[in-house]
């Protein structure tokens, strides 16, 4: 096995540890005196008390082994990119199990249902719920439910009945088994497993809709599995002939009770959890603990009430995530994130390893070729049929159609896992006579789906997508515009409201804003709960800081740009320039280095002309620094990886620019009202903005002082007032004129997105502004700014929309009000924001 070769260095260590764990246990207590320095009688200075620590010690060792194995796997990138980790872990488990068994001759470590259901499964499911992309999940809830409920029932019934049919034909030989046993087996083998599905799908990159459907299905079908399993188990206990119609109806009722009850328990605990975290301000250190304890309690509670525990903890995670994230401190949030990932990832590792180990036990193996093979065939075939049929129905109602390739992946991604195994182990041997056959078949099915399908699903996806025609270097235009198209598309999607359910979502968010958030969120969190508002807060802080040092900054930036390097690409990179401005220069150098490296590679393929080299640099720069469209960077749920910071950075950058431009263009609209006073107004604007910016930290840092901030805001508005500004006319015409030249031509070319004020965007090169576009004569200069004025609505509300971003407490409603009272004096909307 290639997987075992790679982590060679780790192996010696693993074996040593195993020996440590196993030998003492095998030989029992005889070893004790050996280590005790011979002083058997009397007081022992040191005693070797293996039994005292045995259980926790072994558990800790197993965890260590599994974790080390994980390190080992990832030493070789080649292996993990081909073989899914879950498959590697199963194989490792098989090997370790073999070793243990060879040493011990008893299979002492198996995946017991208690261990699995109480300790290993909850963290995984909680993690899935807590990091669930809610929007996507609820957007596809209907589809998910159909697959989870109807699909699972179909799989269970069809598999069970078909197996029974084949059994009746006599192909399986002589088995002590009845129809109900087959249905029981069908019900436990039917469910797609959340652990296995995630483990494999995470490594195969499929589109988000497909991912959420398969993932959601695997989580939600638990209720169906539990009910089917319980119903058939009790039927088996009762005996086939005593089952009445009433029992069947009861079974149906119990399905709704189990699923809805489980969900309800989850929601109730999510509510409690959110409420509790609202008041943890003074006990920050135990904040994260609440998240885990309360979610776990939801799991146990619904288990106690024999409801669907998986649904409970899933919905607990889903429902609480928003409020908890808003309530707890940033450090606690980070702690929760990492802890959750660690627990889930660890549990998954252990599950797969134990699955392997559990298989090494001759006692459980009972082979029946026909039964095993037919089970494999049936579950695959019925999965395909189920998916195709349901998709056909769904596609008539869905906005986003599921295409053939999606259906193939869905059918093929129906992996079975540890849930099935734990359920089958739970069976009572006295009632289900062929338990061992079921157990072995389940193991085979799990191994087959996880290893074989897991191995092949990635090549399959790639093969199906191989529509890529010719392999050529895209032209610059294609690259740039292609990316622009991506952005356009995602913007249009946002405007057109992507996937349906908007009406419901609007209703919900209204309800959430009016009632839920008020109860469940801290005051401070309510204000800044909008992520965008958060970003804006931070940006403002940053701005304020950076503008303080603006003068220096501009100087240093000018330094970098002015002596330059007319064309970056022609600079001699090999000799590091003596830099006085460390950070900035090193920036350039770093870029250059990477560009050079890229060139070196490309030289082999491309002609060695300067032109090409420059081309490469250009392409490279574009490739590296073009903003990524939303679809590409937006991460889905991942069990092993935490959010990449990159896209947050990008969001911030773009958001910063957008807001700055909107503000500028709004202001320029105001300025346009009185073109003749332009210079003075610009001066005003500059001053006002400086004041505003410097006032922000004071206004914002203390939580309660938004009012104060607001008054400052108001004064800024007044300063912008044309009447008042007139008094500055004489003062600063000279400064204004230069400014005017820049502004007007920029308004001309860029009016929709506003002005690039060089003063306030030190990162952008002012030089570009001073270069007049050829078609612009000074005479025309004023006109565009009037256009800008027309485009931007002149209303106090408009300004409020931008300004109160940082001080709004009740979000957009206030803007709506402000907007409605367009012609009213400024004071009126001002108060409305403080309702």
Partner 1 sequence: MGSRSSHAARIPDVDSIRRETGFSQASLLRLYHRFQALDRNEKGYLSRMDLQQIGALAVNPLGDRIIESFFPDGSMRVDFPGFVRVLAHFRPVDDEDEGNRDPKEPEPLNSRMNKLRFAFQLYDLDRDGKISRLEMLQVLRLMVGVQVTEEQLESIADRTVQEADEDGDGAVSFLEFAKSLEKMNIEQKMSIRILK
Residue numbers 630-689 binding partner 1 by CB under 8 A: 630, 650-651, 653-655, 657-659, 661-662
Letter string b/e over residues 293-303, b meaning 16 or more CB atoms within 10 A of that residue's CB: ebbbbbbbbbb
Among the listed ranges 109-117, 252-260, 433-441, 475-483, the one in contact with partner 1 (CB under 8 A) is: 475-483
Contacts of 375 (CB under 8 A, 6+ apart): 159, 163, 189, 441, 444, 445
The residue (of 165 and 820) whose beta carbon lies closer to partner 1 is 820
Contact pick of 625, 676, 730, 835 for partner 1 (by CB under 8 A): 625
**Applying CB under 8 A, which part among 31-39, 162-170, 429-437, 757-765 lies near partner 1?**
757-765
Rounded distance between C-alpha atoms, residue 194 and residue 307, angstroms: 18
CB closer to partner 1, 125 vs 830: 830
Query: Helices 706-720 and 678-700 sit at what angle, rounded to 10 degrees?
Result: 180
502 touches partner 1 by CB under 8 A: yes
- Phi, then psi, of 360 in degrees rounded to 5: -85, 80
Q: Which residue has the tokens 């019925």?
A: 382
- Could you give the CA distance from residue 445 to residue 423 in angstroms, rounded to a whole number? 14
Question: Is 569 among the residues that bind partner 1 (CB under 8 A)?
Answer: yes
| Residue 631: count of CB within 10 angstroms of its CB | 12
Q: How far is the CB of 646 from partner 1 (least distance, A)?
A: 10
Q: Name which of residues 758 to 777 contact partner 1 (CB under 8 A).
A: 763-765, 767-768, 771, 773-775
In whole angstroms, how close is the CB of 284 to partner 1 at the nearest point?
29
Q: Which is nearer to partner 1, 67 or 395 (CB)?
A: 395
Query: How far apart are CB 644 and partner 1 at their closest, in Å?
Result: 15
Among 748, 755, 803, 807, binds partner 1 (CB under 8 A): 748
DSSP-assigned states of every residue in 686-748:
HHHHHHHHHHHHHHHSSTTTHHHHHHHHHHHHHHH-HHHHGGGTTTTHHHHHHHHHHHHHHHH
747 and 785 Cβ atoms separated by less than 8 Å: yes
Kindly tell me which of 273 and 539 has the beta carbon lying closer to partner 1.
Answer: 539
Q: Is 484 in the site for partner 1 (CB under 8 A)?
A: yes
The residue (of 361 and 614) whose beta carbon lies closer to partner 1 is 614
State the DSSP H helix or E strand holding residue 35, giving kind and residue range, or none if neither: helix 31-35
Piece of 109-117, 225-233, 398-406, 409-417 that binds partner 1 (CB under 8 A): 398-406
> Quick one: tokens of 691?
């004041």
Shortest Å distance, C-beta 318 to partner 1: 21
The residue count for the chain: 835
Burial of 643 (0-12, 13-18, 19+ CB in 10 A): exposed
Site string for partner 1, 784-803 (x = CB under 8 A): ---x--xxxx---xx--x--
Stretch that binds partner 1, among 104-112, 163-171, 530-538, 694-702 (CB under 8 A): 530-538
Does position 91 interact with partner 1 (CB under 8 A)? The reply is: no
Stretch that binds partner 1, among 23-31, 362-370, 503-511, 702-710 (CB under 8 A): 503-511
Q: Which is nearer to partner 1, 12 or 773 (CB)?
A: 773
Interface residue with partner 1, options 75, 404, 480, 545 (CB under 8 A): 480
Site for partner 1 in 428-457 (CB under 8 A): none
Options 430, 477, 609, 734; binder of partner 1; rule CB under 8 A = 477
DSSP state of 452: I
Nearer to partner 1, 661 or 681 (CB): 661
Binding residues for partner 1, rule CB under 8 A, total 95
Minimum Å distance from CB 564 to partner 1? 6
Residue 630 C-beta: closest distance to partner 1, Å: 7
Element (H, E) at 153: helix 152-168
Q: From CA 735, how far away is CA 438, in angstroms rounded? A: 87
Under 8 Å between Cβ of 353 and 96 = yes
- Judged on CB neighbours under 10 Å (0-12, 13-18, 19+), 460 is middle
Cα 296 to Cα 280: distance, rounded to the nearest angstrom: 19
């Amino acid at each position: 096995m290639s997987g075992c070769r790679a982590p060679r260095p780790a192996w010696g260590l693993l074996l040593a540890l195993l020996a440590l764990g196993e030998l003492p246990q095998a030989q029992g207590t005889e070893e004790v005196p050996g280590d005790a320095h011979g002083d058997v009688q009397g007081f022992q200075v040191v005693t070797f008390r293996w039994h005292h620590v045995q259980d926790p010690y072994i558990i800790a060792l197993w965890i260590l082994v599994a974790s080390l194995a994980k390190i080992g796997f990832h030493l070789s990138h080649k292996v993990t990119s081909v073989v899914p980790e879950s498959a590697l872990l199963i194989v490792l488990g098989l090997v370790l199990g073999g070793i243990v068994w060879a040493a011990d001759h008893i299979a002492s470590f198996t995946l017991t249902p208690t261990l699995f259901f109480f300790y290993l499964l909850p963290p995984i499911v909680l993690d899935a719920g807590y990091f669930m992309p809610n929007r996507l999940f609820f957007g596809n809830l209907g589809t998910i439910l159909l697959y989870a409920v109807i699909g699972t029932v179909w799989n269970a019934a069809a598999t069970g009945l078909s197996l029974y049919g084949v059994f009746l034909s006599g192909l399986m030989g002589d088995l002590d088994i009845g129809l109900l046993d087959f249905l029981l087996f069908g019900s436990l083998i039917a469910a797609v497993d959340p652990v296995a599905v995630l483990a494999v799908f995470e490594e195969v990159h499929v589109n988000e809709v497909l991912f959420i459907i398969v993932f959601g299905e695997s989580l939600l079908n638990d209720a169906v599995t539990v009910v089917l399993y319980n119903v058939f188990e009790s039927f088996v206990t009762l005996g086939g002939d005593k089952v009445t119609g009433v029992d069947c109806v009861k079974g149906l009722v119990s399905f709704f009770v189990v699923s809805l009850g489980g969900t309800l328990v989850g929601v109730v605990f999510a509510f409690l959890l959110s409420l509790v975290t609202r008041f943890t301000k003074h006990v920050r250190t135990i904040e994260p603990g609440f998240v885990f304890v309360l979610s776990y309690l939801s799991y146990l509670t619904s288990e106690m009430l024999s409801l669907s525990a998986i649904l409970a903890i899933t919905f607990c995670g889903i429902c609480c995530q928003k409020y908890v994230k808003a309530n707890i401190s940033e450090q606690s949030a980070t702690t929760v994130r990492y802890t959750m990932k660690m627990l889930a990832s660890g549990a998954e590792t252990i599950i797969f390893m134990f699955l392997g180990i559990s298989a090494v036990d001759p006692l459980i193996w009972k082979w029946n070729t026909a039964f095993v093979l037919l089970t494999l065939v049936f579950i695959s075939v019925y999965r395909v049929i189920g998916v195709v049929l349901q998709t056909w129905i769904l596609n008539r109602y869905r906005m986003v159609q599921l295409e053939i390739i999606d259906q193939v992946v869905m059918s093929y991604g129906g992996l079975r896992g540890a849930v099935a195994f734990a359920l089958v182990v739970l069976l009572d041997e006295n009632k289900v006579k062929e338990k061992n056959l079921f157990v072995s078949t389940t193991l085979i099915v799990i191994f087959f789906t996880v290893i074989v399908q897991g191995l092949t699903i990635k090549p399959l996806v790639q093969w199906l997508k191989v529509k890529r025609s010719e392999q050529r270097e895209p032209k610059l235009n294609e690259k740039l515009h292609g990316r622009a198209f991506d952005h356009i598309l995602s913007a249009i999607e946002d405007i057109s409201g992507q996937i349906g359910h908007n009406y419901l979502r609007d209703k919900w968010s209204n309800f959430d804003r009016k009632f839920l958030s008020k109860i469940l969120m801290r005051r401070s969190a309510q204000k800044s709960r909008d992520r965008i508002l958060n970003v804006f807060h931070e940006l403002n802080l940053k701005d304020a800081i950076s503008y303080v040092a603006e003068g220096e900054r501009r100087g240093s930036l000018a330094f970098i740009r002015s002596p330059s390097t007319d064309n970056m690409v022609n600079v001699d990179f090999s000799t590091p320039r003596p830099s006085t401005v460390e950070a900035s220069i090193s920036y350039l150098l770093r870029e250059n280095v990477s560009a050079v490296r890229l060139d070196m590679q490309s030289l082999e393929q491309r002609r060695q002309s300067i032109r090409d080299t420059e081309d490469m640099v250009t392409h490279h720069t574009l490739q590296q620094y073009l903003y990524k469209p939303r679809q590409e960077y937006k991460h889905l749920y991942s069990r092993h990886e935490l959010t990449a910071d990159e896209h947050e950075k990008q969001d911030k950058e773009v958001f910063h620019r957008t807001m700055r431009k909107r503000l500028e263009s709004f202001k320029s609209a105001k300025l346009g009202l009185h073109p003749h006073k332009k210079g003075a107004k610009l001066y005003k604007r500059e001053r006002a903005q400086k004041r505003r910016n410097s006032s922000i930290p004071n206004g914002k840092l203390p939580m309660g002082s938004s009012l104060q901030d607001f008054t400052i805001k108001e004064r800024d508005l007044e300063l912008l007032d044309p009447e008042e500004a007139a008094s500055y006319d004489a003062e600063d015409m000279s400064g204004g004129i230069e400014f005017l030249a820049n502004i007007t031509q920029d308004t001309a070319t860029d009016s929709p997105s506003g002005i690039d004020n060089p003063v306030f965007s030190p990162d952008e090169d002012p030089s570009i502004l001073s270069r007049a576009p050829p078609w612009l004569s000074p005479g025309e200069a004023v006109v565009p700014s009037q256009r800008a004025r027309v485009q931007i609505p002149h209303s106090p509300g408009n300004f409020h929309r931008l300004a109160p971003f940082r001080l709004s407490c009740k979000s957009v409603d206030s803007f709506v009000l402000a907007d409605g009272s367009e012609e009213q004096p400024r004071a009126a909307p001002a108060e409305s924001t403080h309702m």
